[in-house]
């Protein structure tokens, strides 16, 4: 697996996919925080397990700190990720947080209405494990070794049932916690970047793509 410095260097010229017309849609962002610290097993990634709340479709799910863009609080979607990260985990820029790049836009729907929403993931590194402080939206804060997701033997399948219908989705099960959906898409993009760096190749694809709904 590559070191954070190699990932940071690669992301300087990486061109993530950007969805056409995103500025006219509902926007949100997430913060993917990586720490390179032997005490947490090399490179680890911070994830949250959301608190169980009535009416929240992601209630109890695993994911990354993040949330909706606010015209009152945020100058841009990057600031949204930083604000939400601090609110949900207590991690701030002052803790030595450094933005090293971003991943591709993902399209889903806003949970309170049938309207498209763009999620933009930003990647950060931090040199030492920070003190964490969860808020009411978070049930648990978890550091997971990035190598766990890069090992295909850890790949699993989860089933979702609604009435008579059943769907199967790829997932990871870590410490009895299921990671799937949009979070899994972000992790898979990180894994692809890792593979390209190891192989000395570049990711070639269209930078701007039409909307394509992902997740529930």
* Average pLDDT by stretches of 10, the chain with 216 residues: 90 92 92 80 89 74 96 96 97 95 93 84 93 95 94 92 87 95 96 93 64 54
- pLDDT confidence of residue 68: 95
- pLDDT confidence of residue 1: 78
- pLDDT confidence of residue 213: 56
Residue with token string 């894994």: 191
Q: pTM to 2 decimals?
A: 0.89
- pLDDT confidence of residue 197: 93
């Amino acid at each position: 697996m590559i070191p954070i410095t190699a990932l940071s260097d690669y992301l300087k010229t990486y061109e993530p996919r950007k969805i056409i017309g995103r500025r006219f849609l509902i926007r949100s962002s997430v913060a993917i925080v990586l720490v390179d610290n032997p005490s947490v097993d090399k490179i680890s990634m911070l994830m949250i397990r959301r608190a169980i709340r009535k009416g929240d479709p992601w209630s109890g799910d695993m994911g990354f700190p993040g949330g909706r863009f606010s015209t009152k609080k945020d100058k841009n979607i990057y600031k949204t990720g930083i604000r939400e990260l601090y609110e949900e985990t207590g991690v701030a820029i002052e803790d030595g947080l450094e933005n090293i790049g971003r991943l591709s836009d993902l399209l889903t729907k806003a949970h309170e209405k049938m309207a498209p929403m763009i999620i933009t993931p930003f990647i950060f590194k931090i040199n030492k494990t920070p003190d964490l402080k969860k808020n009411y939206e978070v049930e648990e804060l978890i550091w997971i070794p990035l190598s766990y997701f890069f090992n295909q033997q850890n790949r699993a399948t989860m089933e979702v049932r609604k009435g008579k219908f059943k769907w199967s989705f790829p997932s990871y099960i870590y410490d009895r916690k299921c990671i799937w959906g949009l979070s899994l898409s972000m992790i898979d993009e990180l894994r692809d970047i890792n593979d390209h760096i190891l192989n000395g190749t570049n990711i070639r694809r269209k930078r701007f793509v039409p909307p394509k709904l992902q997740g529930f």
